[in-house]
Every structure is written in structure tokens, then in C-alpha cells.
């Protein structure tokens, strides 16, 4: 995989860190003689969906050497992975795409977005004074693993798109490899807690610099996760107050980031929107029945799925805030949609009307688009803050 992406071969330290999370029984490789020429893997996750959580295969480490392209190796690995997830009863699959056009043909749809932000520290005054009884502490890795895992579990319960991370995964997130520093400092790890109850954390690096006017450092925020609004504001205030920094940047932030409304200067932070998680409905009825809906309603979908023929067909969804049921049905459909576009709307990150106006969804009954948008609406944008 490193060769396919033009990166250096992994060090022994990197291999040790990787081995703790690698699922060898879900790792694939193509060989040409003794040489590995293509790879793909899966991590076994649970993903938060509106109103619940479902098993999800996290597709990772996908690469084909340039010498072996256009031989069907990627298609064969995608086929094997989706068959495996279907047999295991995982209704969802997810991945991050190195190139956007690759995975649509395998039924993956762009389901979440993420923001890259930059804030000028001189313009980072808050509109209101903070209040709260918690405190900030720097923590070493052993304490951070347990405390950060607790915070993560609290935060993900109500955040569609977040993946469940146990302490094994948190150790991986905190592995401070030289590969990731890019000339910046080792990790700073900050915990926000009230009494002995952790409710937020931040991980960041700094890169010191000076020019003729004085300090001109840069802080790179790698992760900030909070289970309460109080912890969120306090952690951002801390990050924006670090001495000798001129600017703060962060990637993989939620598109509905509240920070803009904490700041007195509403033109901060400068924001760029990028694609985030690509989702695949491996089992359409199980996926639709496994989430909850903002309002009660009924929809019949005519789903087209060329790559996973077990999904191709019509499904009646009866769902609401408290329960949902989905089953195959032969009645006239309300909407005709490709499985990738249904995945794009599944977490609430895209509206059916937007997809219809792009020619991706056909409204077969008047009012069905509005009903679908009302049912699939969520109170917060889906977000996945962890890469895999």
C-alpha cells in the first residue's frame, strides 16, 4: 500500500502500532509471484446512525501498483469485501476515497463532509466570556487513553457518522509517529474535566517560527472532541490562547462547527469544505430499518444496485422517531434511486431534493421528495472525526 501511494516503507515502530488494529482475517493481497501488487483491508466498526448504531465495515489500505492497473484487481477486491460483509451481517460499509471518482461504481456515495479551517489568532476573541466549573489538564498517554476513550464514547452517541473507538483504537490515535509530525512538535494532549468526569479533549502540535515582527508560530489541531458545549468552548479557547502562535489550523472538522458563533469576528474561521466519509448500504432493508427518522412516514424506494444484486428491488420503509421497519414490496414506488445515492442521503448529510435536482433521484409520486427529506432530516450534520 505504501508503494502504491508513493510513501516510504514503514518503520518497525509503525508496523508495531499498525499490528494492534490490523484484522488479518479481513486483509487481502494480490500476489504476482512473490510480489504483493494490490492490497485492501477492513476494520470492524460500529457507526452511529440517526437514533442508533450499526455494524460497519471500514474499508482501508486499498491500493494497486501502477504496473498492475486495469486488470480487474480492484474490482475483485471490492467484490470479495462486499460479499464478506454481507455474509457477516454488516449492513454498512464506509471508506475515505483517495480519488473521488473511484468508488461510486461499487455503490459508495458521498455521505459526510468535513471542513478544513484556519483562524488568525489575533482575531480569535470570543464574543462572550466563558463560564464553567471544569478545568484543563495536560495528560500523558496512559491517562489519555482511558479518559479520551470515555469522552469519545459519550460524544459519539448523538453524532451520526462517528465510529466506535475502544482503548486499542485510542492508543493508535495517540501514537505520535515521526511520520505524522511534518516538522512540528510531538503531541500536546489536553483534557477538560469537571471534578473527575472527563467531557472533552484536544490533541495538537505546534511549530515555532519568528519573523521581523516577532513570534509567527502555527498550531495544528489534530482532534478536538467534546461531549458538552462547555467543554467544547473551553478547549477551543485553550487552543486559540497558546502563546507564540500566529495562526491555528485544523482539518476534518464538522461542517456545522459552532466555533464561528463563539468568535466576535464572524468571518473567522476561514473554511474549506471537503468530502468526508463515503458510505455503502450493504444490506438495504437492514440499513434503513436500523436508523430512526425525524417524522413518521412511509416511502417506497425502487433501489438500483448493479454491483450487489441482492439489494436490487423495491422496498417499503415505515419509520419514525421511535422505530422503523423495511421490507421488500411490489407496490408502486415513490422514488427511484441508485444505491450509492441512497447512501449519500442515509446519514442526513445530503438532501433528496439536491440529488433530484442533479438528476440522481426520480420522484415517481408527487410529494415523495419532500416526505423523504422530512423523514431523513437530522438535528446535526453527520461527521466522522477519525481517519482509517
* Domain boundary assignment for the chain: 12-112, 115-274, 281-376
pLDDT at position 291 is: 98
pLDDT at position 49 is: 98
pLDDT at position 17 is: 95
> Does 12-112 match 281-376 in CATH topology?
no
pLDDT at position 7 is: 87
Catalytic residue among 43, 45, 103, 106: 103
pLDDT at position 295 is: 98
Q: Which CATH superfamily is domain 281-376 in?
A: SCP2 sterol-binding domain (3.30.1050.10)
Low-confidence residues in the chain, pLDDT < 50: none
Domain range 115-274, its CATH number among 3.40.630.30, 3.40.640.10, 3.40.50.620, 2.60.40.10: 3.40.630.30
Q: What is the CATH topology of the domain spanning 12-112?
A: Aminopeptidase (3.40.630)
pTM above 0.85, yes or no: yes
pLDDT at position 331 is: 84
Q: Is 293 designated active site?
A: no
pLDDT at position 217 is: 97
Q: Is 388 designated active site?
A: yes
Secondary structure in 3-state letters for the chain: CCCCCCCCCCCHHHHHHHHCCCCHHHEEEEEECCEEEEEEEEEEEEEEECCEEEEEEEEEEEEECHHHCCCCHHHHHHHHHHHHHHHHCCCEEEECCCCCCCCHHHCCEECCEEEEEEEEHHHCCECCCCCCCCEEEECCHHHHHHHHHHHHHHHHCCCCCCECCCHHHHHHHCCCCHHHCCCCCCCEEEEEEECCEEEEEEEEEEECCEECCEECEEEEEEEEEECCHHHHHHHHHHHHCCCCEEEEEEEEECCCCCHHHHECCCCCCEEEEEECCEEEECCHHHHHHCCCCCCCEEEEEEEECCCCHHHCEEEEEEECCCCEEEEECCCCCCEEEEHHHHHHHHCCCCCHHHHHHCCCEEECCCCHHHHHHHHHCCCCCCCCCCCC
Amino acid at each position: 500500500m505504501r508503494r502504491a501511494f508513493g510513501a516510504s516503507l514503514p518503520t518497525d515502530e509503525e508496523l508495531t502500532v499498525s499490528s494492534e488494529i490490523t484484522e488479518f482475517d479481513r486483509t487481502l493481497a494480490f500476489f504476482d509471484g512473490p510480489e504483493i501488487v494490490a492490497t485492501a483491508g477492513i476494520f470492524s466498526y460500529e457507526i452511529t446512525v440517526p437514533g442508533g448504531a450499526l455494524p460497519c465495515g471500514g474499508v482501508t489500505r486499498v491500493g494497486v501498483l501502477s504496473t498492475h492497473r486495469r486488470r480487474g484487481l480492484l474490482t475483485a477486491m471490492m467484490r470479495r469485501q462486499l460479499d464478506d460483509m454481507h455474509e457477516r451481517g454488516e449492513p454498512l460499509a464506509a471508506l475515505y476515497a483517495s480519488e473521488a471518482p473511484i468508488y461510486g461504481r461499487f455503490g459508495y456515495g458521498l455521505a459526510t463532509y468535513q471542513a478544513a479551517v484556519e483562524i488568525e489568532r489575533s482575531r480569535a476573541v470570543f464574543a462572550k466570556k466563558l463560564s464553567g466549573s471544569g478545568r484543563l489538564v495536560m495528560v500523558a498517554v496512559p491517562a489519555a487513553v482511558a479518559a479520551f476513550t470515555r469522552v469519545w464514547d459519550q460524544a459519539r452517541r448523538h453524532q451520526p457518522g462517528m465510529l466506535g473507538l475502544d482503548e486499542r483504537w485510542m492508543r493508535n490515535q495517540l501514537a505520535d509517529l515521526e511520520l505524522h509530525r511534518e516538522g512540528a512538535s510531538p503531541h500536546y494532549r489536553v483534557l477538560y474535566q469537571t471534578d473527575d468526569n472527563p467531557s472533552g479533549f484536544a490533541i495538537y502540535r505546534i511549530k515555532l517560527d519568528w519573523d521581523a515582527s516577532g513570534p509567527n508560530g502555527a498550531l495544528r489541531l489534530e482532534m478536538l472532541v467534546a461531549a458538552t458545549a462547555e467543554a467544547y468552548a473551553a478547549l477551543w479557547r485553550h487552543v486559540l490562547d497558546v502563546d507564540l502562535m500566529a495562526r491555528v489550523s485544523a482539518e476534518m472538522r464538522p461542517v456545522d462547527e459552532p466555533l464561528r458563533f463563539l468568535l466576535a469576528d464572524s468571518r473567522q474561521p476561514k473554511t474549506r469544505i471537503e468530502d468526508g466519509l463515503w458510505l455503502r448500504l450493504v444490506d438495504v432493508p437492514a440499513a434503513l430499518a436500523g436508523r430512526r427518522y425525524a417524522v413518521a412516514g412511509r416511502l417506497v424506494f425502487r433501489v438500483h444496485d448493479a454491483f450487489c444484486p441482492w439489494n436490487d428491488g423495491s422496498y417499503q420503509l415505515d419509520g419514525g422517531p421511535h422505530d422503523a421497519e423495511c421490507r421488500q414490496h411490489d407496490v408502486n414506488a415513490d422514488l427511484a434511486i441508485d444505491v450509492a445515492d441512497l447512501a449519500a442521503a442515509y446519514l442526513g448529510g445530503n438532501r433528496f431534493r439536491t440529488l433530484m435536482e442533479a438528476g440522481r433521484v426520480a420522484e415517481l409520486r408527487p410529494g415523495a421528495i419532500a416526505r423523504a427529506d422530512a423523514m431523513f432530516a437530522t438535528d446535526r450534520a453527520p461527521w466522522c472525526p477519525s481517519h482509517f
